[in-house]
Amino acid sequence: MEQRTQFYIDGQWLAPAGTGSIEVFSPTDGAVLATVPQGNAADADAAVMAARRAFDAWSATPPAERAAYLKKIQDGLKARTDEIARTITLEMGMPYKLSQRIQVGSPAASFGMYSKMLADFPFEEKVGNSKVVREAVGVVVAITPWNYPLHQIAAKVAAALAAGCTVVLKPSEVAPLNAFLLAEIIHAAGVPAGVFNLVTGFGPMIGEALVTHPEVDMVSFTGSTRAGTRVSELASATVKRVALELGGKSAAIILDDADFAVAVKGVVGNCYLNSGQTCTAHTRMLVPASRYAEAAQLAVEAAQAYRPGDPMAEGITLGPLASKMQQDRVRDYIAKGIAEGCELLTGGAALPAGVNPAGYYVAPTIFGKVKADATIAREEIFGPVLSIISYTDEDDAVRIANGTVYGLAGGVWSGSDEHAEKVARRLRTGQVEINGGPFNIYAPFGGYKQSGNGRELGKYGLEDFLEYKAMQFRPAPKP
């Protein structure tokens, strides 16, 4: 069992002020995988003050020098790809081969992207008699989730460091081990002391101490809408900038002119990626009422390709959920769907065959004939559960897709990109896949409504960590 006993603060590995520890469980068999320190308010203060002391020098560091550090971090991540992928698979359950590509490949790409972006990013411009400059917002607290743990860390930390901010990271206590590996890589890259700091602990103790700290200028949070609301409330007392990436209940609209065999398979794959633990997962599949039976059959057939089991084993395409709490939550939603009269087409709450009964597994599940106002069609489940909903025409499909409190993502499938785009423009979401278009880290990521505010990734993510300053110059006297 791995034991982490120190925090990374002010360029050093230091013993925490808090005396407790947090157990990290293996979702594959429920055993204790590791322990990490349980930080408290004193640890939060130490990390924030280290970041504050480092801010002036780091924000004044030329962009080219900051870029060089980011490139070293990217290289460090690539060099330890297998180790990091294995760690993330063991702590949160994504199949190992997918972890190599997604859970490590994406974070490395983010650090590389921001390293390159600094070469010509317009930090200042002339506007009339003013020089408008963009400067680092200050000390940033990054609070990140467990489903794509290192990707979400990188999206915040890489952009914040590129902008000239200093950072205190609090990763999820469910999957924190990857963050310690990142801290080792950042230290090896020679990043100045205090620029990046790592603490772990529970939200109500160390998380709230970070959010309310008067020396913190910005909080970037990814997690549930409920927790995001709490972060906003606490941060408002000191008028901090708050960026939130929260929940989703994304709909994929399959139009009548789409290739149904391709579209349905694509939606099922999107829904089941990472065992459904994806905030942008297309968990509602909207199909024309006249073609419901065809879509339902294709969906059930597509689900058969998802084999639950040990995520380190060959041939496994669906790992366990990240925690026992999450497993219980998803099972409860499945029971609720059945109780509300939705048609269970495949899967269900029973443990899948052949898996370790102590693991946190849920079978790939599909409900048909789901009404738009059913609980499983409105609330975020965060598991491998797909709801098939029928619509009468395109206006009805758009109404259903937009009919939740969320607005993070969605998809449209059609025989032509032009037709799909026409419908996509009507969706109130921050991201829409057109005919299965792949994720793009250079595009802005974030949501409408209760899916949050602010944007991550690309130049848009960098801009979120910058303030504007206008300096007015007296015009030169006329000759």
- Strand-by-strand arrangement of the 466-472 sheet: 124-127, 130-136, 466-472
CB-based contacts of 402: which residues, under 8 Å, 6+ apart? 426, 427, 428
Burial 161-185 (b: 16+ CB within 10 A, else e): bbbbbbbbbbbbbbbbbbbbbbbeb
For residue 214 the two structure tokens come to: 């008067």
389 within 8 A of 286, measured Cβ to Cβ: yes
Question: Can you list the positions of beta strands (E) in 328-465?
Answer: 343-346, 365-368, 385-391, 406-407, 410-413, 433-434, 448-449, 452-453
Catalytic residue among 91, 173, 271, 279: 279
Amino acid present at 64: A
Catalytic residue among 245, 380, 433, 456: 245
Can you tell me the distance from the alpha carbon of 143 to that of 43, in angstroms, rounded to the nearest whole number? 15
- Which H/E stretch holds residue 188? helix 177-188
Can you tell me the distance from the alpha carbon of 265 to that of 284, in angstroms, rounded to the nearest whole number? 13
- What are phi and psi for residue 413, nearest 5 degrees? -115, 130
Beta bridge partners of residue 466, listed in sequence order:
136
Can you tell me the distance from the alpha carbon of 69 to that of 75, in angstroms, rounded to the nearest whole number? 10
SS3 at position 143: strand
Do you know the residue count of the chain? 479
228 within 8 A of 279, measured Cβ to Cβ: no
DSSP-derived secondary structure for 365-398: EEEES--TTSHHHHS---SSEEEEEEESSHHHHH
Amino acid present at 208: E
For residue 369 the two structure tokens come to: 């004939």
Strand 250-254 to strand 410-413: parallel, antiparallel, or no bridges (unpaired)? parallel
SS3 at position 318: strand
24 within 8 A of 32, measured Cβ to Cβ: yes
Q: How far is C-alpha 226 from the chain's CA centre?
A: 16
Q: How far is C-alpha 464 from the chain's CA centre?
A: 16
User: What is the DSSP-derived secondary structure letter of residue 196?
Assistant: E
Burial 48-70 (b: 16+ CB within 10 A, else e): bbbbbebbeebbebebeebbebb
- Known catalytic residue at 245: yes
User: Hey, which residues are catalytic here?
Assistant: 245, 279
